[in-house]
Amino acid sequence: MEGPMTGIHELAAAAKEYVNTRVDSMKLKAAEKTSLIISDLVAGAIVAVVFLFVLVFGSIAGALALSAWIGKPWSGFLVVAVIYLLAGIITWGAKERMIRIPVMNKIIHQLFKNEVADEED
């Protein structure tokens, strides 16, 4: 005998399964977005370390070349240090525009990349 209670139990079971599926789906989306952001950060850090090595060795080579050109051993390193000081002051002054906003935009883009693609379809 199938009555209204059986239908209600089936509906409740289907609703519970739907909610569990939606929760799993949200967990997978969150994991995907988190992994994308972390992988971008790791890749950026690796590239930054490589560029840091290039910058350090290039700076040493430039400082030594300037020292040889000027004739005093310390002068090239002083010129390179002043260049870095000026670059640091400029970067500090423009940190909002040069660093903070692009990083925020990249993270927001990664978080909402799939939603925008779904809306366009």
What pLDDT does residue 85 have? Answer: 95
What are the residue boundaries of the structural domains of the chain, listed by start?
4-120
Residue 1 pLDDT > 50: no
What pLDDT does residue 121 have? Answer: 54
> How far, in Å, CA of 116 to CA of 40, rounded?
19
Average pLDDT value over all residues in the chain? 86
pLDDT in tens, 25-73: 999 988 888 888 888 889 989 999 999 999 999 999 999 999 999 989 8
pLDDT in tens, 77-117: 999 999 999 999 998 998 888 888 888 888 888 777 766 56
What pLDDT does residue 116 have? Answer: 58
What's the farthest any 2 CA atoms get from each other in the chain?
104
How many C-alpha atoms does 100 have within 13 Å on its Cβ side?
A: 7
